[in-house]
Amino acid sequence: MNKKNIINSIFENIKTIIGALIIAIIIRSFIFQPFYIPSSSMEPTLLIGDRIFVSKYTYGFSKHSFPFSPNIFNERIFYKKPEQGDLVVFKTPADNRTDYIKRLIGLPGDEIQFIEGDIFINNKKILRKKINTSNLVRCGKFSFKVNAYEEILPNGAKHIAVYNEAGTLQNTKKFIVPENHFFLLGDNRDCSKDSRYLGSVSFVNLVGKAQIIFFSNDTVKGSLLKFWNLKNSFRFDRLFKKIK
């Protein structure tokens, strides 16, 4: 192969790589982005080791839709308002950089408060009923027994939330959700850093809506690098499971 052919081959390879990167960035920014679940704050809905796809187009697009959150605009385009019950990935208000995932509970203008362990939205208690399910969830390196409830939000959306059996958060101040902000909670209510501590989340900080679990590996039972143990750690029942 002569020098000209070598240069042409290198140039073609570079074009192919650049083209692939551009396509990957477009898909990641405008369609779907994969995320890894590193904590237990959303148990039992999401487990440590779940890998999920998040739709980027559901709520429109902001600077946080793009890699490194470039400061190109401070609003959302093609904005569609999220709904109560959505599982939302967002950038934390503290640094506008760290990705969290929580459940949307309060809309702009809502008043949220915990009273005697119950959640009140606009002075109305969220309906809930106790259910029989696995009553052990993780919290960091530990596990604790919980009471599990099916909660029904004002718009009819249902989800499972768990509360520490030994004692849960009883009472809080009244949180008033500002305009263009949302109040989000973890389903693992006593092991979640959420809007009770972070504050309400701006609509600009929304990254997307969690849609599906495409892979899940129990990191306690083994890492992906230990492929010989994958059959024991791989959660087959969560493969391509739709997120509710």
Domain that holds residue 115: 33-242
Give the model's pLDDT for residue 211: 97
User: Do both 20 and 94 map to the same domain?
Assistant: no
What is the domain count for the chain? 2
23 and 54 part of one domain: no
Statement to judge: residues 200 and 107 lie in one domain: yes
Same domain, 156 and 169: yes
**Do residues 113 and 188 share a domain?**
yes
Same-domain pairing of 138 and 185? yes
Contacts of 103 (CB under 8 A, 6+ apart): 42, 45, 85, 86, 87, 88, 159, 184, 185, 186, 187
Same-domain pairing of 116 and 212:
yes
The residue annotated as part of the active site, out of 56, 63, 91, 102, is 102
Shared domain check, 203 and 118 = yes
Residues 112 and 99 occupy one common structural domain: yes
Q: Which of 39, 40, 41, 192 is catalytic?
A: 41
Look up the CATH number of the domain holding residue 52: 2.10.109.10
| N-to-C CA span, the chain | 57
80 is catalytic: no
The pTM (predicted TM-score) of the whole model is 0.89
> Is residue 102 among the annotated active site residues?
yes
Let me know whether 52 and 116 are in one domain: yes
At residue 144, what is the residue type?
F
Asked whether residue 194 falls in the same domain as residue 121, the answer is yes
Based on the domain organization, do 13 and 41 belong to the same domain?
Answer: no
pLDDT by residue, tens only, the chain of 244 residues:
567 677 777 888 888 899 888 888 888 888 999 999 999 999 999 999 999 999 999 999 999 999 889 988 889 999 999 999 999 999 999 999 999 999 999 999 999 999 998 999 999 999 999 997 668 898 988 899 999 999 999 999 999 999 998 888 889 999 999 999 999 999 999 999 999 999 999 999 999 999 999 999 887 766 656 655 666 788 989 999 999 8
